[in-house]
Amino acid sequence: MPPIRVGILHSLTGTMAISETPVVQAVELSIEEINQSGGLLGGRKIVPILADGRSDWPTFAAESRRLITGEKVCAVFGCWTSASRKTVRPVFEELGGLLFYPVQYEGLEESPNIIYLGAAPNQQIIPAVKWAFDNLKSRRFYLVGSDYVFPRAANAVIGDQVKALGAQVVGEDYVPLGCTEVQDMVEKIEATHPDVILNTINGDTNLAFFRALRAAGIDPKTIPTISFSIGESELPALNPSACAGDYAVWNYFQSLDGPRNSTFVAAFRKRYGEERVVSDPMEAAYCAVKLWAQAVELAGTENTDAVRKEILDQSMAAPEGVMLIDPETQHTWRPVRVGRIRADGQFDVVWDSHRPVRPQPFPISRSPAEWERFLDDLQTGWNGRWAAPPR
């Protein structure tokens, strides 16, 4: 019987490889488990075709086109940054492909060709601000991020919410993806002395940022940091003991209790090494394959259009709890959790929604048309790209 070909499109090289390589491994594990249990559609094996986006948006677009037209894959599991996702979106819509996107993001988007497994704004950044306001008594927020669409848009959402709460954004600063020159940013934080730092920096820039914070004497006891793109996979490189006490907000943490999560963690470690850890995007990517496989079986075919219809009704008992696709938005119902970093690189969950939260891709602080204009202005200012040009 012919195999079922799927694509995996992530950065295996460049600044984003630190985050994306483990996600590839989670996808491969999920595929291996399905193959070992007999495959799909009466015994057909899944064959993954791996493509390296190289942390470069044009490469992501070219590779997505190659996977769909050249490799004839029926689905693609991939992308981390919103710049990569927005760059490949027109390709998937033009060619009728289907992308499973596993990472939290800024929202402000819906596409019939994308299944969004990561958190929408109301499932991560919005509850994080409210939690900091209520529990850390934060009233003065400093926003830092990488200079591309996710941090810019996320911070616009945050800015609206902070204003509505009667609090204040006292600083907002960005650095290019991959940049390690963060000293000016840290000096501004020192001078401003906010109550909390909200961090949307992605990739290995975080290494330089946290190193500079600690060198300046900024730690969780003086000014805590809440991060939105740092999980268990990134912490070993960051030196978790130096980050202990800071926070991250995700839908999943490796430290969650429960038999399904224990089984998932054990399977990943058996495959890749007992010292390895798992994170939210890895769990979402792992579950994406399982949800796609369920839709394939129900459709009775791997045909992309048929699977796209069936995927909208899918749910599963995931390591994080119940996960289900919202048919109206093609986003995913997921619980929200705030974690405090431990010195061993794991998280103590300090707040939990205890139930899946319905995704709302477009925050109500502005109309969808206003958010679209915001994105158009960003893209126009960046000469048609989804990241700032090099400085």
Q: What is the pLDDT of residues 242-269, one digit of tens each?
A: 889 999 999 999 999 999 999 999 999 9
pLDDT, position 87: 96
| Residue 389: inside a domain | no
| Residue 349: inside a domain | no
pLDDT, position 313: 83
CA trace torsion 156, 157, 163, 164 (10° rounding): 160
d(CA 264, CA 4): 24
238 has pLDDT over 90: no
Task: Band the pLDDT of 15: cuts 50, 70, 90.
Answer: confident
Which distant-in-sequence residues (6+ apart) come within 8 Å of 194 by Cβ?
138, 140, 141, 142, 170, 171, 223
Whether residue 152 is found in the same domain as residue 207? yes
d(CA 252, CA 238): 20
What are φ and ψ of residue 76, in 5° steps? -130, 135
| Residue 113: inside a domain | yes
pLDDT, position 203: 85
| Residue 150: inside a domain | yes
382 has pLDDT over 90: yes
Task: Band the pLDDT of 54: cuts 50, 70, 90.
Answer: very high
Whether residue 225 is found in the same domain as residue 370? yes
Whether residue 108 is found in the same domain as residue 18? yes
Q: Calculate mean pLDDT across residues 78-91.
A: 96
SS (H, E, C) 261-312: HHHHHHHHHHHHCCCCCCCHHHHHHHHHHHHHHHHHHHHCCCCHHHHHHHHC
For 384, what's the count of Cα atoms within 13 Å in the CB-facing half-sphere? 1
- Greatest alpha-carbon span in the chain: 66
Whether residue 34 is found in the same domain as residue 51? yes
pLDDT, position 204: 84
End-to-end Cα separation, the chain, in angstroms:
53
pLDDT, position 242: 80
Q: Calculate mean pLDDT across residues 325-336.
A: 98
370 has pLDDT over 90: yes
What CATH number is attached to the domain comprising 221? Answer: 3.40.50.2300
Whether residue 130 is found in the same domain as residue 245? yes
Q: Calculate mean pLDDT across residues 224-238.
A: 93
pLDDT, position 88: 98
183 has pLDDT over 80: yes
| Residue 23: inside a domain | yes
Whether residue 261 is found in the same domain as residue 231? no
Whether residue 136 is found in the same domain as residue 28? no
Neighbours of 346 (CB within 10 A): 16
Which distant-in-sequence residues (6+ apart) come within 8 Å of 222 by Cβ?
none
Whether residue 223 is found in the same domain as residue 368? yes
391 has pLDDT over 80: no
Find the domain containing 218 and state its range: 122-254+362-381
pLDDT in tens, 199-217: 999 988 999 999 999 999 9
Mean pLDDT of the chain: 96
| Residue 151: inside a domain | yes
Q: What share of the chain is helix, strand, coil (3-state, %, to 5)?
A: 40, 20, 40
The position carrying tokens 């945050």 is 158
Domain count, the chain: 2
| Residue 32: inside a domain | yes
pLDDT, position 265: 98
pLDDT, position 178: 86
Whether residue 69 is found in the same domain as residue 218? no
Of all residues in the chain, what percent carry a pLDDT higher than 90?
93
d(CA 78, CA 174): 25
Q: Calculate mean pLDDT across residues 229-245.
A: 89
DSSP annotation of 98 reads -
| Residue 170: inside a domain | yes
Whether residue 167 is found in the same domain as residue 207? yes
Q: Calculate mean pLDDT across residues 33-53.
A: 98
Neighbours of 155 (CB within 10 A): 23
DSSP annotation of 15 reads T
d(CA 144, CA 284): 25
Instruction: Tell me if 45 sits within 8 A of 34, measured CB to CB.
Output: no
Whether residue 64 is found in the same domain as residue 90? yes
Identify the CA nearest to 390 among candidates 129, 88, 56: 56
Whether residue 99 is found in the same domain as residue 163? no
pLDDT, position 1: 87
